[in-house]
Structure 1
């Protein structure tokens, strides 16, 4: 009997061993975006999920389906065939000289009107001007096309308003509004007969201030669709940076408008376009020189436009109200100052059940929190100090804090009017997580919706009674559910395993904390051991670093946010470490602004603590520690190689900032002030000054026309190294920008790997 049991045990173990051996090794084609097999190894997903009022729908390739919120079962609402039949043979609302090409898929269609059985999608013409795009509305109750209008070729920055049915969009530097028929209205004037266009350096309807301050778009529809607010950006006074396109027969000059720190920046104004009268007025903001106009929003009655205005020093913000009809300045509603910087990131959001009150977001108490301001309760302003003692604020409206604590609100997703709740995401459970909560405006209490682990993204239904919740964690490849917003159990639509885990021999990944260089602050780290780890061996190690503002490299997600290259290097036999040092995101303003005016000092001290942690591990070869990072991480990589040359043997710096005088105004001056007001800080962060310190092997990789960290950074550093007698290496991706995409991205990581294999392993 015992012999039989032993035989069975050995048999099972042998099967398990064979199964383990069957797991294969992955390649860069498997783990890098742009790789041939990358898309096949992502956890399964359900794309096209969205809300049609309170009805969940899924826009698939050949159908649009209704998803039962209780069972998850799907019912077909619209088919691709019926839409194409209407496009090709059905009655059209306007006579057109061409046909719309048959649709290949419905997965990009939407149902923007909760009370109409209408889908909206973009279609392309079949003949003639092949670049022309049309917005098409299909009524699936009547089975007919009810509206279609042209969006001119190369249209970009599309902004659709469901309240009025208009589409705002840009072509080049021009702004258009289309609604019906063949000819959209152009908002900005056209100079006909001019020998030289006086507005050739003026851009309408696009994001301004180089996408800082939460700005990601340039058009803002009013709540009822009566007006369109838009940015107008005059760059005529901004210096041209001479980018060169080498793909032409003779290299072509293609300059970028690039305002460097301390130099003249562009001027921004805000226009208001009246859809009915087709007239435009501009807000009377005064001289826009050296000012930033951020977070444009509307009052529910469309009578007021609100802007958070910021001074050039970025240490004084004002919430200002303007008359939407006349453009006149009405009042300052709130002010905030900080000895370091104020960084508004969010527009006002009015409560749907009380149009007199809005949500304002601020870091004045050390973390981003919500405050409710009452437009009908004006008060005498009085300057007060926030919980962050370097912050001051002045409230001209009655203001009630809605959230508080050493955690931050990440986003406002929607509302539940019946229960007077706001659906938010926050880091309350952990800085490594993003979880969904229902927040009561009555008492500030918060109720968790869905899982208490991982990082969640959610869509809120029209009533706020339900959310579509998608999350991933270190334990869950992907989970998608329809959940009631009252916190009760919902309907799971998908729980996906991870194909990488199933098919490949994966490394061990762990997360923990070490102390920062201040000896007090806990820093999160991610450690990846080599595949087939042998504790008796000594392995080389690489620190993957970013370390700058607005970035957090470690979350409770798939592989704890480890990139495919990190996994690949672990398979190559490297220990991989990442540390979210002070200066990075989602830990509060004091955690981030400790680097103010001296970028690359405190962050490096924390990364050195990471290197010391590596050295304490018995399986790490302390003589073979490398470092790699991109952008701010490229700055950190270069700086670490030059400042601590006896710790780091090999480094690869991608798109690095070398001298902050060459970086752009908004970002650079926020964290460093100007070169004139902070000469010591700029000198200390100028890596050209340290060029003679290089001992190990350093390679710099850049895009040949990088518009973010312009090539001048790297070229001037190479000259400094030549003068100092040191020898970095250089690789350029011609005509690429700040990041490599597609096949170039695969090639990039092949190249980075080879450098470490040649010089560290």
Structure 2
């Protein structure tokens, strides 16, 4: 009896202490998250400047000194200490500052860039100078030019201007124009068109051979591509019109051809690559005269690597890969000293690393397992070791690994859980690891190639300490079984959560093919907004449904030819299953998303009106017929081949199903998902006599961020909408 009484007293004291600790913790977290704090940078983490790995055990950073001068400084990986200042703008006679820099191969020269004018997401033109490190002399390359790059022999720089290609020879102080047919909205030489830049993620479409004798480049004939135009209101009396070529699904793409320019003969030759629709990559092998060009058919399920001989302009097949659905394009092709090459592929159902000889014969599959390689970092020839990132420790985590070229001696080099990414030195002796989790802000640490942590560079301890005073709820990770699949999920609850109460719920998702929102990583701006909503008494949930990434090709490609159908079904089913929980108010459930996620939230509200009462759609696609060829046809083929795949799940075709509260947001300057999508949706809703809210933002692009208070204003609108229709309903 006494023993039992003593245990009860101890248990009571323990529970009291625990309750007191929880109460104290809540009391200490008394600061509220506000939209002003989210968008004025209060919660921004301290980040490292983007470093540039140099030859040897060194890296460089672009810095600004106390006098406002721009510098390129050299650092040691081993010590993280500055070794020297390579260039300082105060020593330059022709410019007062610069914004970018890039080295030539032996780091004796630097290209400095300034006065940039943005074109699209990745492209810009600017003024560029060449700087000689030894003599400290600077010379102009050109103004309003694009993508200048040194030849490997350091004597020349190739660049693009006004849709043509040029070579400046510093040894002779001459400029040679190597193409002359460039014309806006017609012919582009050496620079990608809009759809290649957006969907194949590159801008510079020309490459020097290793011996500097040849320049391979792509030529885009977009003269027959349909034109899209947007009025830019601006601040002038009359709007300006932005006019550009944009191939929508099923329409004409640019005719893209590969050309080889000989520096000695000053002639270009067109290279025949057989039948194809796209040339998404070109890369020189370690043979000075052999370029490897990648081609894809229009369905993007037949990929070929071609060996192109610059001596006679012939081509031969190196590798062919096919897929029942589609093949993603990466930058992982890497040639080794013997010209064998590293290649990544999903051909066994998961993305893995393969080794081929230069005849296209498989030597071995290096990584293997029911998990995905998510990044390839490089190959150390001396150690015969490959470095990569994968999800071996769970699809919501990322780890950095090493493995032998023979597929043996695999080793985890980073933290086991959370997000780890590596920035390796050029010689692969060191890497700077960026680690974060949902609970730990980014930590930047120096590691050696064996995985030994040498030094913490930045730890964001001050941010973590600052956030301890705020009402921050943790993300609770779990899985939920929906339509026969265990889907990754996180949930954010109010800090004073009481399971005996009922809470409105907001689902957040993106859901696009290969994407991921449920990840064990540090907060972004939306996470703070979700926490702000939680402190107002809401539960916020995110579920990654079918079609999302990092769980194998079958899961990702299960939505092929029926884009958004299964994704929408999963969100509706998830909402219904969560609504069965006692603490969820089944009559107050909303969903929101941006871009693809905006399409999803619209579909979910219309098709799931029996569970969703409210939706916010920001910059949504409302019919895949309005979106570009490369992205859309990758997942749906063309509208001519698959009309049902386009129309059955496009909300413009069933606006009459709207029953709940709908907020539609779009920027009129969106060159990616055109405001046409929202205008058509608005017309469909009007024709169906449906009431809705809309927020049209003049001139803003897809991200809706440019201009004073743009994001603050947008999120204020969204917060008010959520409060009115879900929290205070």
TM superposition score category, shorter chain reference? 0.7 to 0.9
Residue 587 of structure 1 deviates from its aligned partner by 1.8
Alignment correspondent of 1:327: 313
Task: Pick one of 709, 713, 716 that aligns with 1:750.
Answer: 716
The 2-side partners of 1:650 and 1:19 are apart by 31
Task: Pick one of 179, 182, 190 that aligns with 1:188.
Answer: 179
2:711 match: secondary structure: helix
Residue 284 of structure 1 deviates from its aligned partner by 1.9
The 2-side partners of 1:18 and 1:313 are apart by 56
Is residue 506–residue 541 contact of structure 2 (8 Å, CA) maintained in 1?
A: yes
Against the structure 1 CA distance between its residues 159 and 624, is the aligned structure 2 distance closer, same or farther, given a 3 Å change threshold? farther
Q: Deviations over 1:196-235 (max 9, x none)?
A: x6x7511222234434664423233333444332222111
1:641 match: secondary structure: helix
Alignment correspondent of 1:78: 85
Trace 1:283-682 onto structure 2 (pairs within 5 A).
283-286=271-274, 291-329=277-315, 331-346=316-331, 348-351=333-336, 353-355=337-339, 357-375=340-358, 378=359, 397-497=361-461, 498-499=463-464, 501-517=467-483, 519=484, 521-559=485-523, 563-682=527-646
Residue 64 of structure 1 deviates from its aligned partner by 5.6
2:506 match: secondary structure: strand
Residue 24 of structure 1 pairs with residue 27 of structure 2: no
Alignment correspondent of 1:45: 47
Is residue 529–residue 575 contact of structure 1 (8 Å, CA) maintained in 2?
A: yes
Alignment correspondent of 2:4: none
Residue 158 of structure 1 deviates from its aligned partner by 4.5
The 1-side partners of 2:308 and 2:21 are apart by 76
The 2-side partners of 1:669 and 1:508 are apart by 39
The 2-side partners of 1:586 and 1:692 are apart by 36
Residue 201 of structure 1 pairs with residue 167 of structure 2: no
Alignment correspondent of 1:387: none
Residue 233 of structure 1 pairs with residue 220 of structure 2: yes
Alignment correspondent of 1:148: 139
Against the structure 1 CA distance between its residues 176 and 114, is the aligned structure 2 distance closer, same or farther, given a 3 Å change threshold? closer
Q: Deviations over 1:676-701 (max 9, x none)?
A: 22222223122222211110011211
Against the structure 1 CA distance between its residues 77 and 656, is the aligned structure 2 distance closer, same or farther, given a 3 Å change threshold? same
Residue 616 of structure 1 deviates from its aligned partner by 3.1
The 1-side partners of 2:140 and 2:546 are apart by 51
Against the structure 1 CA distance between its residues 104 and 625, is the aligned structure 2 distance closer, same or farther, given a 3 Å change threshold? same
Is residue 120–residue 137 contact of structure 1 (8 Å, CA) maintained in 2?
A: yes
The 2-side partners of 1:687 and 1:104 are apart by 47
1:145 match: secondary structure: coil
Residue 716 of structure 1 pairs with residue 718 of structure 2: no
2:353 match: secondary structure: strand
Alignment correspondent of 1:137: 131
Alignment correspondent of 1:220: 207
Is residue 268–residue 293 contact of structure 1 (8 Å, CA) maintained in 2?
A: yes
Residue 321 of structure 1 deviates from its aligned partner by 1.8
The 1-side partners of 2:341 and 2:22 are apart by 63
Residue 549 of structure 1 deviates from its aligned partner by 1.0
Q: Report the count of equivalent residues.
A: 690
Alignment correspondent of 1:384: none
Alignment correspondent of 1:256: 244
The 2-side partners of 1:207 and 1:408 are apart by 30
Against the structure 1 CA distance between its residues 594 and 184, is the aligned structure 2 distance closer, same or farther, given a 3 Å change threshold? same
Is residue 199–residue 631 contact of structure 2 (8 Å, CA) maintained in 1?
A: no
Is residue 122–residue 136 contact of structure 1 (8 Å, CA) maintained in 2?
A: no
Is residue 292–residue 312 contact of structure 1 (8 Å, CA) maintained in 2?
A: yes
2:556 match: secondary structure: helix
Residue 245 of structure 1 pairs with residue 232 of structure 2: yes
Unaligned residue ranges in structure 1 (runs of 5+):
1-5, 89-98, 126-130, 192-196, 379-395
The 2-side partners of 1:706 and 1:46 are apart by 30
Against the structure 1 CA distance between its residues 697 and 165, is the aligned structure 2 distance closer, same or farther, given a 3 Å change threshold? farther
Against the structure 1 CA distance between its residues 490 and 666, is the aligned structure 2 distance closer, same or farther, given a 3 Å change threshold? same
Alignment correspondent of 1:175: 165
1:625 match: secondary structure: strand
1:344 match: secondary structure: coil
The root-mean-square deviation of aligned C-alpha atoms, in Å, is 3.2
Q: Deviations over 1:18-62 (max 9, x none)?
A: 99447421222322xxx22x1x53222332544332333453323
Unaligned residue ranges in structure 2 (runs of 5+):
1-12, 66-70, 117-124
The 1-side partners of 2:629 and 2:723 are apart by 38
1:254 match: secondary structure: strand
Is residue 365–residue 407 contact of structure 2 (8 Å, CA) maintained in 1?
A: no
Residue 734 of structure 1 pairs with residue 704 of structure 2: no
Alignment correspondent of 2:64: 61
Is residue 438–residue 474 contact of structure 2 (8 Å, CA) maintained in 1?
A: no
Is residue 576–residue 611 contact of structure 2 (8 Å, CA) maintained in 1?
A: no
Is residue 270–residue 282 contact of structure 1 (8 Å, CA) maintained in 2?
A: yes
The 2-side partners of 1:30 and 1:159 are apart by 41
The 1-side partners of 2:26 and 2:624 are apart by 53
Against the structure 1 CA distance between its residues 148 and 233, is the aligned structure 2 distance closer, same or farther, given a 3 Å change threshold? same
